[in-house]
Amino acid sequence: MLDKKHISGYRVLARIGEGAASQLYAVQDPRTKQVWALKHVVKETEKDMRFLEQVQAEYTVGAKLDHENIRHVYRLIKHRKMFKLKAVSLLMELVDGQPLDQKLPEDQKHAGNIFRQVAAGLAHMHGRGYVHADIKPSNILLTHDDHVKIIDLGQCCAIGTVKKRIQGTPGYMAPEQAHRQAITAQTDIYNFGAAMYWVLVREVIPTALPPQQENGDNLYSGALDAGMVKPAVPPHEKNPAIHPLLSKQIIDCVQVHPHERPESMELVLNRLDLIADVLDAPPDVPFRDACDGSAAGEVET
């Protein structure tokens, strides 16, 4: 179990992050001296059981994936007392990087390279039969050399899953998530499009489950009907520095109805490759200072 120096036999080097109910540590195997990341979740009340289940789901899905743009998971450790599950620990690849919402691209070519890596990781995941279901800038890590690692697989599920609870992040959540309908590859495509929009424009798009206002008042009394969701303003109309082809790709991804989005993440990746070729021709125009905004927080009901 957990003490100040060890978790499950691993020596704690530092606490490097935290989530809604989890702590993330850098740990070392005392035998091999290998350094890992370890996510630790303790069950304090019965309501915490869902967080333990998310970590177990993260392991179940992550163990079946093998892609350079997805954080690797290695081992799930269950802590029991009197045969009852009290905590779980997930041993993962330690990534020295920053989330995309804290390490923003300098220009759209730089952004395009990041987007292509995310799309490649998601295409691999879909090929294995799973959906991430919570792609957003804070779940995309960038290393010092701009290598992408997709993290936080806790809301991953098999393609076609209908969840019992609304899960996702306001401002990035697809309408089918807000209405507890089947989660598919098109759900990730929507989340991904919403994430690209925020990175380039620094605003969240109109969604069926918007984020809260700064004063804490909800912008909604419940999930909005899909017909009430206003179309997003194309990114290049918000910021003329954005190429219209990249802008169109983003708008295609965030269509309200899943069948109107690109049919696969592979197609999105192919389009981003073509757009990259176009962006190689003209000089880039920095857009970081041209827009401002804030990321949305997670929700689960």
| pLDDT tens, residue by residue, 31-79 | 999 999 999 998 777 777 888 989 999 999 999 999 999 999 999 999 8
Question: How far is residue 185 from each of residues 209, 261, 265, 277, 299, measured CA to CA in Å?
Answer: 19, 10, 7, 26, 21
Give the pLDDT score at 60: 94
Give the pLDDT score at 196: 97
CB 93 within 8 A of CB 37: yes
Region of 171 on the Ramachandran plot (φ > 0 left; ψ -120 to 50 alpha; else beta):
left
Q: Is 11 helix (H, G, I), strand (E, B) or coil?
A: strand
Give the pLDDT score at 293: 46
Give the pLDDT score at 5: 87
Give the pLDDT score at 298: 53
Give the pLDDT score at 301: 43
The span from the CA of 118 to the CA of 128, in Å, is 16
Residues in the chain, pLDDT under 50: 1-2, 214-221, 289-290, 292-294, 301
Give the pLDDT score at 224: 66
Q: Indicate yes or no: pTM above 0.85.
A: yes
Give the pLDDT score at 48: 77
| pLDDT tens, residue by residue, 137-173 | 999 999 999 999 999 999 999 999 999 888 889 899 9
Q: In the CATH scheme, what architecture does the domain 6-92 have?
A: 2-Layer Sandwich (3.30)
- Give ∠ CA 60-101-141 in degrees, rounded to 5: 40
Q: Where do the domains of the chain lie?
A: 6-92, 97-300
CATH class in words for 97-300: mainly alpha
Give the pLDDT score at 166: 87
